[in-house]
Amino acid sequence: MGYTDQRFDVNLSILFTELPLLERPAAAAAAGFTAVELWWPWIDTPTPAKEELDALRHALQDAGTQLVGLNFYAGRLPGPDRGAVSVPGEESERFRANIDVAADFAASVGCKALNALYGNRVEGVDPAAQDELALENLATAARAAHRVGAVLLIETLNQPESPLYPLVSAPAAIDVVDRVNAATGLANAKFLLDLYHLAMNGEDLSEVIEKYAAKTGHVQIADKPGRGAPGTGELPLEDLLDQLRKAGYQGFVGLEYKAEDAAASFGWLPAEARAAR
């Protein structure tokens, strides 16, 4: 086994960012990739104009790229915001306004995974109240995802880089997954297993894979330290992805690493492994 046995996609919100959004799908295709994912591209609005949604749809289709993962509105990414699901007031309202917009866009391009970032803790707000709000919003998002045949992803981030984000361990994210599924009865909430974030939290990655592969709906990778391409750090990413495959995970592996020159950063991945099968 190895990298050639995986299904990779490129996160166009962290790679090819030297290009305008609508040029990134073609750039990924030129590098040999047929699958891509995105954070919510419009950080200032959860409800962009139809013309903007149509333009992105056409850019994906014209490039021959399949969108396999999309974030719901999550505030400013990259930046200090880490989601809106649990944040009371305007941000939570923005998330709710975005739910059907994002779900319908995903359906229009055949995207089957929608990621909802939990949101930072807010000073002066009871964490229990934030968790109650998050469960309500996530249940609504799960129902919308179910309506379009998609899964809802719950992601762990890492404490050093996101100190106000409460889901900084695999068990914490899994607990939210389980609570959402219990609330909806749909069983379409899944774990987004990001090996970089988990490694930054000091977790035993092999143990996490062994325990939670069956509840994993998507995987993302970057090397540690530095969040660079595989081979730039210390993580045995090829071995870990082999372990995931052996544990039954058959989904996509998102490339969510940083590179000044995205096209030049894919030397670690054989050309024949870049097209999704």
Contact 36, 26 (CB under 8 A): no
Catalytic residue among 155, 161, 234, 260: 155
Sequence-separated (6 or more) residues with CB below 8 Å from residue 15? 24, 28, 255, 257, 259, 262, 265
CB 153 within 8 A of CB 112: no
From the list 37, 91, 203, 256, the catalytic residue is 256
H/E stretch holding 41 reads none
User: Environment class of residue 261 by beta-carbon count within 10 Å: exposed (0-12), middle (13-18) or buried (19+)?
Assistant: exposed
Question: Which amino acid is located at 104 in the chain?
Answer: D
Catalytic annotation present for 155: yes
| Distance of alpha carbon 228 from alpha carbon 242, whole angstroms | 20
Look up 256 and say whether it is catalytic: yes
CA distances from 149 to 21, 108, 112, 191 (A): 26, 11, 6, 17
Sign of the alpha-carbon torsion through 122, 201, 113, 253: positive
User: 199: part of which helix (H) or strand (E)?
Assistant: helix 195-200
> Dmax over Cα atoms in the chain, in whole Å?
52
Find out whether 215 and 191 touch, Cβ atoms under 8 Å.
Answer: yes
Residue with tokens 């709710």: 96
Residues with catalytic roles: 155, 256
